Amino acid sequence: MPTDMSTTAAPMTTTKPPTVLFDMKSHKAMVVAADGCYEYHMNHQDTLDHANNLAALTQRIIDAWTARKNTQETGHHHIDHMTPEITTACASLPVYSFD
């Protein structure tokens, strides 16, 4: 049955999934998301998992970031001493801490 109504598909928008970058000297990780960088403070188990089970650690950090209840903007002074990879990735994004 022919119809004269045309259909238009909405453009697909994709958001890049967050990535996790590590600064083992500071015992911190940074979740780099489309809307900002989120600082994660690593505990002793996290540092062990960084060496032995990076996939599980990365997923645990993403899960904590996804479930965050409180986010506070901290500013770029929190990342000035971190790895060049983190400072570059977060240069044009706001920086937050979360719990």
Residue 31 identity: V
Question: What is the model's pLDDT at position 78?
Answer: 84
Q: When comparing pLDDT for 5 and 99, which is higher?
A: 99
Q: String of b and e for 71-99 (b: at least 16 CB within 10 Å)? A: eeebeeebbeebbeebbebbeebebbbbe
**8-58 pLDDT per residue, tens:** 555 555 678 999 999 999 999 999 999 999 999 999 999 999 999 999 999
Q: Are strands 36-41 and 19-23 parallel, antiparallel or unpaired?
A: unpaired
Q: How far apart are CA 99 and CA 78, in angstroms?
A: 16
Task: Name the more confident of 99 and 3.
Answer: 99
